[in-house]
Homo-oligomer: A and B are copies of this chain.
Amino acid sequence: MIEDVQRLLDRHRVLDDLARRQVTGRRAVIEDLQHRQNAADIRRRLRVLHPADLAFLLESLPMGDRRLIWADLDDAVAAEALLEVDPTVRESLIAATPTRRLVEMAAHMDVNDLAWLADALPPAVLQQVVVDLDDAERVLLRQTASFGTGSVGHLMTRDLTAIQESTTAADVIEDIRGRGALPQYADPLFVVDRRNIFRGAVSLQALLLAPAATPIADITRHTLQTFAPDDPAPAAARAFERYNLVSAPVVTDRGKLIGRLTVDAVVDFIQQAAERDALAMAGLRGGEDLFAPVWNSARNRSLWLFVNLVTAFLATRFIGLFESTITELVALASLMPIVASVGGNTGNQTIALMIRGLAFDQVSRANVRYVLRKELLVGLLNGVLWGGLVGVAVLVLYRHLWLGIVLMTAVLLNLVIAAVVGVFVPLMLHRYGRDPAQGASVLLTFVTDSMGFLLFLGLARLLL
């Protein structure tokens, strides 16, 4: 195990190095350590890692090693790593940690982080943690919990530096000096009035350039993107991407400033959503930790595997209807999977494009008819081209004109069906509030398999 960790730390050093080329001192230290190989050294090396790097290391380790390292970390360090790791890995770590240690870790988190993590912690831990909070913190924790996982309220931070409209530039600079340091992404500073109603923002640059006595109200910019806590996170992520935002105020419907949405939270959200989509399209529910215990992984994949089995079974029932036809010309059995496979393949191309279009709001009622017509034409074009090709191949191989014609026609028709299903299935799932990435492919394959068999064997019975 120690060797694995060594190797990972060494690989990791490359990235670390890339990111901190400047810090030659640290580089020398790490290179120095690289040649020794004992647990005490590793422990020392882990201690100097950035929490995000530690999280990466935990994500890259098989379960046993992951737990060994995890058990060995200081509670404060472990708390920071826990905030950084991937949700599925977090789950595995929390499950492996005794309640008492989790409570200790929680004590090292501020109430913002705690609120963010609350969903993932066992209720018993949360109950013990809440006891040590003051009233304001408890209210905050409850409020955050009330926002859904996919909302701006869930992604935002409450760690903000709001300044009063009625003060002057000099007052604010004095105030910042008193605080010592601003939170990350604190530029621009948000301006509120006495009742904590959001008024606008002042950039540090404006503050820097303003004469000391300038009233804050005079340098406040009022045209700013704001979000409501119950705005959907994907829409907010698109706004961040589109307007290149770094930090945006979150405001209640009565105008009170309650938080801040920052670009780091949005980047994580985009990354995780993209990952989830890719895994969902392949038939995995939610995320899956690459190093999850075998039993968990088997269970995670079982659902779609089962659905796939059932649909495959149902689709092949069509073959049974044509057993006599197959007995007459057994070559049909060899060729029928081609029709099904080609249909599934093109249909999945259409689905991938539709999922992207829906995610970006590019497909709407206004243009769906256009998309459908286009996909139909593409299917037809490719159907004629490739259907013709396999038709000729079969003609040459089997010296059977009508077999070639039947195969060609079935491929052509199945490509057209795949185009229609590939457009409509994601659309329907989306309209009924479901994730089109989850399940669209299985449904499509069911249709293209069934129709592939039915068309090919049906045409064969009619024409041969």
Contact = CB atoms under 8 A, between A and B. Distances in A.
Contacts of A277: 274, 278
Interface stretch (A104-112, A117-125, A177-185): A177-185
A175 to B, nearest CB: 11
Interface in A232-261: 235-236, 238-244, 246, 251
- The contact size tier of chain A is 35 or more
B385 A284 contact: no
A78 interface: no
Interface string A160-182: 00000000000001001100011
A17 to B, nearest CB: 10
Contacts of A33: none
Given A290-B353, A298-B378, A342 B308 contact: yes
Contact of A308 (B59, B345, B371): B345
B306 A386 contact: yes
A282 B331 CA distance: 30
Interface stretch (A35-43, A143-151, A264-272): A264-272
A323 B312 contact: no
Given A15-B235, A176-B208, A298-B382, A242 B52 contact: yes
Given A4-B366, A284-B349, A290-B353, A334 B316 contact: yes
B342 A333 contact: no
19 contacts: A18-B235, A19-B225, A20-B223, A21-B226, A50-B242, A173-B208, A186-B205, A187-B205, A246-B246, A263-B267, A277-B278, A279-B352, A301-B378, A308-B341, A308-B342, A312-B338, A323-B334, A326-B330, A337-B449
Given A239-B18, A349-B282, A302 B187 contact: no
Interface stretch (A92-100, A131-139, A355-363, A427-435): A355-363
A236 B267 CA distance: 14
A413 to B, nearest CB: 16
A53 B360 CA distance: 12
A319 B334 contact: yes
A223 B23 CA distance: 6
A342 B305 contact: yes
A389 interface: yes
A238 B15 contact: yes
A79 B271 CA distance: 29
Interface in A25-62: 50, 52-53, 56, 59-62
A70 interface: no
Given A3-B366, A312-B337, A312-B341, 5 more contacts: A18-B235, A281-B282, A283-B349, A298-B377, A327-B330
Contacts of A61: 367
